[in-house]
Amino acid sequence: MLLQRNKLGSVRPPKRCRSDMDTTSTSDIVIINGNSHPDLANMVAERMGLKNGGCSVFHKSNRETIVEISDSVRGKDIYIIQTGTKDANNNIMELLIMAYACKTSSARSIVGVIPYLPYSKQCKMRKRGCIVSKLLAKMMCTSGLTHIITMDLHQKEIQGFFDIPVDNLRASPFLLQYIQESIPDYRNSVIVARNPGVAKKANSYAERLRLGLAVIHGEQKEAESDEVDGRYSPPPTSSRTRTTSVSVGVPEHPIKVKPPLTIVGDVSGKIAIMVDDLIDDVQAFVAAAEMLKDNGACKVYVLATHGLLSSDAPRQLEESLIDEIVVTNTIPHEIQKLQCHKIKTIDISILIAEAIRRIHNKESMSYLFRNVTLED
């Protein structure tokens, strides 16, 4: 290498052109994982050309969680891959303890890669409960996490619970590609929302695929407005306290009467594709499939990002009229696939690996959200 002298006579190396520099420096990246989804962590590390960091997470006889990190994390960027499963409480404690262990070991940054965020459905006040997602966000920020990577939150507003950056990735490009490549004659399909709450997501899929839209109306929804609790009861009367009658000046809430289950849209002779963000309790999907078949749908597909499939969901799906269930591998479901041959899996590890690479290299994340609308 030729050396050049400046005006003061000191020797300095020539400038290296951009093509000579490494575009990705992986020497200071450490990927570790808990017990929730080790296969996904290994796939992400393999795609990035890295070796999974040495981290042991186990439980004592009294069920306390122990974390041991064998490799040095001082001054490095740590990426903890830990998703939510049916064992959500242990998943959360493992994540918090791993993050705190890295924080106390002087890690430069600690990014939590949580494809499925547990308790994301508890993001609204119900009865006299609490907003658990807000509590979980505070615990994660306190443990030492400096960034969150997740996928298809149940509600986008959950990002506001965190005091740290949150990247909410989208699995819709993978699901759209599956529809176009793996569903025969998908042009004869109609996108179905199993309740009005999923209509925005279903409409986004329908617009991208240039397909029709159908909405199932009249299904019972889990919302605090549908439940009767003490907040709507009249104040108690007391002999010592004079209270105003509730009937004076305060109108009563009219009783809700759900309409009969109906389908808004034409599904006769078409392939019905139901889309959602999570499949856990499948009774609503099974009932919707029966109604679609009764109204002339030739096939019924269910596409979702997260396949939790708790309890006896695989058995119910196997016995249902649903022809195929497509989910991503944000949650491990290999045992469920043995019980139900209709379940198909889409690998999204390449998206997580690309998100990690862009964050580490301080590149823009906008490419991963290109052509994504607010309805997604």
Per DSSP, the three-state class of 56 is: strand
Query: 210 and 340 share a domain?
Result: yes
Average pLDDT score, the chain = 86
Give yes or no: residues 153 and 286 share one domain: no
Q: What is the mean pLDDT of residues 192-203?
A: 93
Tell me: do 117 and 266 sit in the same domain: no
pLDDT tens track for 241-288: 555 555 566 787 787 777 788 899 999 999 999 999 999 999 999 999
Q: What CATH number has the domain bearing residue 134?
A: 3.40.50.2020
Shared-domain flag, residues 39 and 112: yes
What does the pLDDT read at residue 143?
97
Is 196 found in the same domain as 135?
Answer: no
For the chain, how many structural domains are there in total? 2
d(CA 288, CA 317): 12
Whether residues 102 and 141 share a domain: the answer is yes
Q: What crossing angle do the helices spanning 88-104 and 132-143 adopt, rounded to 10°?
A: 30
Q: Say if residue 188 is in the same domain as residue 329.
A: yes
User: 203 and 291 in one domain?
Assistant: yes
152 pLDDT above the threshold of 90: yes
Same domain, 183 and 325: yes
Question: Which tokens go with 18?
Answer: 């951009």
Position 39 scores a pLDDT of 96
Domain that holds residue 39: 29-169
Same domain, 181 and 317: yes
- Percent helix, strand and coil across the chain, each to the nearest 5: 35, 20, 45
Same structural domain, 39 and 159: yes
Residue type, 349: S
Q: Is residue 163 part of a domain?
A: yes
The average pLDDT across 126-148 equals 95
Among 110, 144, 169, the domain-final residue is: 169
**pLDDT single digits (tens) 295-347:** 999 999 999 999 999 989 999 999 999 999 999 999 999 999 999 999 999 99
Q: Let me know whether 151 and 212 are in one domain.
A: no
DSSP secondary structure string for all residues of 221-276: ---GGGS--GGGSPPPP-SSS----TTTT-PPPPPP-PPPPEEES--TTSEEEEEE
Among residues 272, 279, 344, 346, the alpha carbon closest in space to that of 306 is found at: 279
Domain presence at residue 75: yes
pLDDT score of 355 more than 90: yes
Q: Is residue 69 part of a domain?
A: yes
Point out the least confidently predicted range of 136-150, 228-242, 257-271: 228-242
Tokens of 356: 């990690």
Contact 365, 358 (CB under 8 A): yes
pLDDT given at position 88 = 95
pLDDT of residue 3: 45
